[in-house]
Structure 1
Amino acid sequence: MTGLLTDVPVDIDRDAARRAAAEELSDPKYRDARPNFLQQIGQWLGEQLEKLLDGLSSAVPGGIFGLLLVLVLLIVLVVVIRLRTGKIARAAKAERAVFGATRKSADDYRRAAAEAVSAGRYDDAVRDRFRAVVRALEERALLDVRSGRTADEAAAEAGVLLPDVATELRQGARLFDDVHYGGRDGTEAAYRALTELDERCRRARPVAMAGS
């Protein structure tokens, strides 16, 4: 009889049930099994990231693979921009600059070029003869004295005021770059071409003064 009575469900009121549940959940074994605050935050962040990726992957053609491709392209774009505008780009441009930290006069560059030719150093002769061309244009105020200007920039700027020699200026800049930046050997022909360019630039009249 006693066994039958214990098998019969016992009805308890709502407050008693709440107290019984609270007592059960207060057991340390439940508290130890529950994740701590940092774990809950990490779990929440993981869920949010998963939702974000799911949303992006559904919006990008190709699903998650399409999303990864887009991310890779964005990374490549950032790298390219940094290469073109960052420290690497500025360092590369500095290496191609016509002048270094100091400037000589145009005549000093012409003498240095002639001495280099006498010694058979046509690399230096080409560099210094083109520098003589650019420095002479600065001395005539046809180019402003600006650090970091490349040979192409000097040729383009000077060619606007001296259109009669614009083509030769571009060719001279290419000769300078080939030796100074491209690693090619200077030649006697290149030196003579730059010597002629120097003389033509000295005789040329800027378009702004043509009518005076």
Structure 2
Amino acid sequence: MALAHSGAEPPVTTPRDPAREAARRELSKRMYHENDPSLLERALNAFWDWVDRALGAASAATPGGGFGLAVVVLAVVAVLAALWWRLGTPLRRPTSAAALFDERPRSAAEHRAAAEAHAAQGHWNQAVQERMRAIVRSLEERVLLDVRPGRTADEAAAEAGRALPSHTDRLHASAREFDDVTYGGRTASEQSYHRIAELDRDLERTSPVLANSALGTAGTARRGGAG
């Protein structure tokens, strides 16, 4: 860079590299960048440029260009909407691996009281859950079931059915109701709760079938048939 001076003085010549550095320092001053886009604006601009290139490439590869691409997108949206309307929101399926009780042990009376409190407020899901827990805890207190952490409702129904065979079907139905409400995303009804509460009361009045008694009855029947 050469600067002209008046008079007979020779021009001042600045080497190229220092001149470039001086220009860089000058242009880096804040006054020259007050209207520059922010980092977020630059990121958004880069994103929309990418979207524009992607759509351009897709429309070029689609018969009919941009119009054909729009038709394909609308068709995909229509198919997804039809599937959603036909199948509904996916429900979580009941699982037999989930435990019946939480970590804090409570008595059967406490579970019944909680169930009645929920029922009084119309909270049928919670009422069904607590009443089923009351049934299983009551059977444990009567030593018809062993106290076993992690037991599921299905397992409890199967084990209790061996000691109370006349209520096997209702025990399994109540266990399914518990699983549907707790793990399947279903909603319990007032009738569901009353059926489980009635089962709870009937079980309290039912004497268990002991293994020894069953064996003795079977032996008597065999001897009678032989005689």
Identify the TM-score tier after normalising by the shorter chain. 0.5 to 0.7
Aligned residue for 1:98, secondary structure, equals coil
Q: List gaps (5 residues or longer) in structure 2.
A: 1-94, 214-227
Match of 2:140 in 1: 138
Residue 205 (structure 1) shift: 1.1
**Distance in 1, Cα, partners of 2:212 & 2:139:** 17
- Relative to total residues, which structure has the larger helix share, 1 or 2? 1
The answer to whether the 8 Å contact 1:164/1:204 transfers is no
Partner of 1:192: 194
SS in 2 for 1:200: helix
Q: How does 1:79-158 map to 2 (within 5 A)?
A: 94=97, 96-158=98-160
After superposition, residues 152-167 of structure 1 pair within 5 angstroms as 152-167=154-169
Q: C-alpha separation between the residues in 2 aligned to 1:204 and 1:184?
A: 30
Query: For 2:118, what is the secondary structure of its paired residue?
Result: helix
Query: Are the equivalent residues in 2 in contact too, given 1:151–1:173 (CA < 8 A)?
Result: yes
SS where residue 131 of structure 2 aligns? helix
Runs of 4+ that moved beyond 6 A: none
1:101-130 deviation digits (Å, cap 9, x = unpaired):
122100100000010011111110000000
1:11-61 deviation line (CA, Å, top 9, x unaligned): xxxxxxxxxxxxxxxxxxxxxxxxxxxxxxxxxxxxxxxxxxxxxxxxxxx
Identity percentage over the alignment?
Answer: 49
Relative to the length of structure 2, the TM-score reads: 0.50
Q: TM-score, normalised by structure 1?
A: 0.54
Amino acid at match of 2:189: T
Cα distance in 2, alignment partners of residues 162 and 184 from structure 1: 28
Check conservation: 1:113, 1:129, Cα contact below 8 A: yes
- Segments of structure 1 that go 5 or more residues without pairing to the other structure are 1-91
Q: Distance in 2 between matches of 1:180 and 1:104?
A: 19
Cα RMSD (Å) of the superposition? Answer: 1.8
Question: CA 1:210 to 1:175, structure 2 compared with 1: closer, same or farther past 3 Å?
Answer: farther
Q: SS at 1:207's partner residue?
A: coil
Q: Determine if contact 1:93/1:148 at 8 Å carries over to the other structure.
A: no
CA distance in 2, matches of 1:163, 1:103: 27
For 1:118 and 1:210, how far apart are their aligned partners in 2? 43
CA distance in 1 between counterparts of 2:165 and 2:143 reads 16
Write the distance in 1 (CA, Å) between the matches of 2:211 and 2:200.
Answer: 19
**2:178 pairs with 1:176:** yes
The one-letter amino acid of 1:125's match is A
The CA distance in 2 between the partners of 1:97 and 1:188, in whole Å, is: 24
Aligned equivalents of 2:108 and 2:180: distance in 1? 21
By how many angstroms is 1:200 displaced?
1.2
Q: Give me the whole-angstrom Cα distance separating, in 1, the residues matched to 2:211 and 2:141.
A: 16
1:63-88 CA distance string (max 9 Å, x none)? xxxxxxxxxxxxxxxxxxxxxxxxxx
Q: In 2, distance between residues paired with 1:195 and 1:159?
A: 17
Contact map agreement 1:110 1:128 (CA 8 A) in 2? yes
Shift of 1:209: 7.6
Cα offset for 1:210?
8.9
Report SS of the residue matched to 1:134. helix
- Supply the distance in 2 between the matched residues of 1:97 and 1:201 (Cα, whole angstroms): 22
